[in-house]
Amino acid sequence: MSKTLQQKSTTDQNVSVIHIQPHTSGLQQVPQLIPDCSIGGGKASPPSKQARKNAVMDRNSEEYRQRRERNNLAVKKSRLKSKQKAQDTLVRVNQLKEENERLEAKIKLLTKELGVLKDLFLEHAHSLADSVQPHSTESSTAKQENT
Amino acid sequence: MSKTLQQKSTTDQNVSVIHIQPHTSGLQQVPQLIPDCSIGGGKASPPSKQARKNAVMDRNSEEYRQRRERNNLAVKKSRLKSKQKAQDTLVRVNQLKEENERLEAKIKLLTKELGVLKDLFLEHAHSLADSVQPHSTESSTAKQENT
DNA sequence: CTGAATTGCGCAATTG
DNA sequence: CCAATTGCGCAATTCA
């Protein structure tokens, strides 16, 4: 029942993996290094970031580590958010359930009240009928149920 | 808005990572190899599975690979289940919302009916009052609201 | 103890 | 380019 019993070191650095060839294995051979796609082309390649992406990017590169760390942070954030939302949904379900019970109770009450009033009405009707024609006790015993 | 555009290779094998020191880095130095904790001790170590666990377990070991594969499968299964449940919860929310609307509509209807009947009653009451004492039109105009 | 199920985490590909 | 998502595998734990 423990939820938070994992805490490697927060600052990563303990993973020390060496993804030889991370993913790209039998799918899309990433060009190991692209000399210079646009030598005298358009606007002169800004720094040289495009190269890094295609050149497997050193896993020791500071650039790389910074990116990874930022992404890890983003991932954590995203997952937290996701879990929060899920929990909120569960709460919502409970609220709706309660609301439902309240409504059903109210319906029950209203239905009961309605029944009482209708009965009273029938009695009155009978009284009136009796006072007009003191011998009719059969055609007015029907009741209505609303769905 | 595309959801499923990731498909490395399903059969793994493309990861080819080499977690030098997987997790245990600054937490609990796993003894690289335990000679024989209980040499002439208790009951003689059964087979040799205990060793494997403490001995970092070769990442090339078939034992290891099989375990990993099974776990990966279990993980996938578990996550699928988890997502399914989340989705079901969302569906549940919608069902409850609809149910709520139905109930509220019904309440509205019942309330209206009740109002009509009550009005009829008041009229009758007035009629009766008029026929008995033709000059009392103030003490019976109150209405009741149920909460 | 054993194997399946969960869970936190980091990686990489995508998406926005 | 950057942050947010998402599928995935690893390892530690928890369950059964």
Could you tell me how many residues make up chain B? Answer: 147
Closest C-alpha among B72, B86, B1 to residue A82: B86
The predicted structure's pLDDT at residue B123: 83
The predicted structure's pLDDT at residue A126: 78
Burial A61-94 (b: 16+ CB within 10 A, else e): eeeeeeeeeeeeeeeeeeeeeeeeeeeeeeebbe
Give the tokens for residue B44: 């003689």
In terms of CA atoms, which chain A residue is nearest residue B11? Answer: A26
3-state helix, strand, coil split of chain A in percent (to 5) is: 50, 0, 50
Question: Does residue B93 have a pLDDT over 90?
Answer: yes
Helices (H) and strands (E) in chain B, counts: 2, 0
In terms of CA atoms, which chain A residue is nearest residue B23? Answer: A15
User: Residue B47: is it exposed, middle or buried by C-beta count within 10 angstroms (0-12/13-18/19+)?
Assistant: exposed
Question: Does residue A67 have a pLDDT over 80?
Answer: yes
User: Residue A127: is it exposed, middle or buried by C-beta count within 10 angstroms (0-12/13-18/19+)?
Assistant: exposed
The pTM assigned to this predicted structure is 0.66
**Which nucleotide in the DNA or RNA is closest to residue A8, CA to C1'?**
C9
Give the tokens for residue B109: 């209807």
Nucleotides of C under 7 A from a protein CB: 1-16
**Which nucleotide in the DNA or RNA is closest to residue A70, CA to C1'?**
D3
Residues in chain A with CB shorter than 8 Å from the CB of B26 are 8-9, 14
The predicted structure's pLDDT at residue A53: 61
Cα separation, A65 vs B124, in Å, equals: 86
- Whether A146 and B21 lie within 8 Å, measured CB to CB: no
**Residue B49 near chain A (CB below 8 Å):** no
pLDDT tens-digit map of A89-103:
999 999 999 999 999
- Whether A27 and B8 lie within 8 Å, measured CB to CB: yes
Q: From the CA of B53, how many Å to the nearest CA of chain A?
A: 19
- Any idea where the domains of chain B sit in the sequence? 49-131
Give the residue carrying structure tokens 């358009």: A42
Closest C-alpha among B72, B14, B4 to residue A27: B14
Range with the poorest average pLDDT among B16-25, B67-76, B103-112? B16-25
Amino acid at A99: E
Torsional class of B30: left (φ above 0), alpha (ψ -120 to 50), beta (otherwise): beta
Residues in chain A with CB shorter than 8 Å from the CB of B92 are 93
Mean pLDDT throughout A27-41? Answer: 34
Cα separation, B34 vs B55, in Å, equals: 7
By the 8 A CB rule, do A96 and B100 touch?
yes
Residues in chain A with CB shorter than 8 Å from the CB of B14 are 23-27
**Residue B106 near chain A (CB below 8 Å):** yes
Cα separation, A129 vs B143, in Å, equals: 28
DSSP H helices in B133-144: none
- Whether A22 and B26 lie within 8 Å, measured CB to CB: no
